[in-house]
Structure 1
């Protein structure tokens, strides 16, 4: 039996101009660089923490 890990789809919906440098680093750690970039990441507490830090810059979709 293989355990299927949940993923999360994250999209950068707001530009980084005028944003705190710590938040820019969080967006970069998520693998996002340009507006409307999308990444599918493993759903883990670390990723959720980064998303919660920049909640106002990203849109999140849960995946099965």
Structure 2
């Protein structure tokens, strides 16, 4: 079975004062604090959330 592709996502800008949907996307990716880094699976759903709040994130494919 093939290994799952992962994306490393880091929160670089604060979600404070942003649109509610953008805050939910950040939380949905598992990010809670500034400069926190998480690895999420490369799925269309996660890609959509990353694209929506890309101005707050730094991403790197692992």
Structure 1: any 5+ residue segments left out of the alignment?
none
- When the two chains are superposed, the root-mean-square deviation of aligned CA atoms in Å is 0.7
Larger Rg: 1
Structure 2: any 5+ residue segments left out of the alignment?
none
- The equivalent residue for 1:57 is 56
User: So what's the TM-score if we normalise by structure 1?
Assistant: 0.92
- The equivalent residue for 2:44 is 45
Task: Give the total of aligned pairs.
Answer: 62
More helix by share: 2
